[in-house]
Amino acid sequence: MENITLGQTKNRFQISSGKYVAGKEKILEIGCGVGTDAITFAKYGAIVTATDISSISIAHAKRFAKDSGVGHNITFVVADSQRLNEYLEPQEFDIIYACGTLHHLPD
């Protein structure tokens, strides 16, 4: 698997389609919404922690993940992306993924 370093940009669809997920990577998704990309990562064998500030989105994401058969590979957390340390235990991730979230942050 190719290493992706800070400053490099990979196409969202390449990453979320599994091109950069070989299996068993630990992925943190920030701003998962209803879980579409988290579910795709899990289908490729990744262990995913998916966060979103919306409890409604997380509830839908949990249901979709269960219906997709990958709910056991995803931990969904209602969390403010600016204070993840208050919601998650310190841990390492192979990939940190955030798509469509930056415009929601305050200036």
Q: What's the average model confidence in pLDDT over 37-52?
A: 92
Instruction: Give dist(CA 77, CA 18) in Å, integer.
Output: 22
The DSSP secondary-structure symbol of 84 reads G
pLDDT for res 11 = 46
If you average pLDDT over residues 75-86, what whole number do you get?
92
Token couple for 96: 């940190």
pTM of the model: 0.78
Largest CA distance in the chain: 39
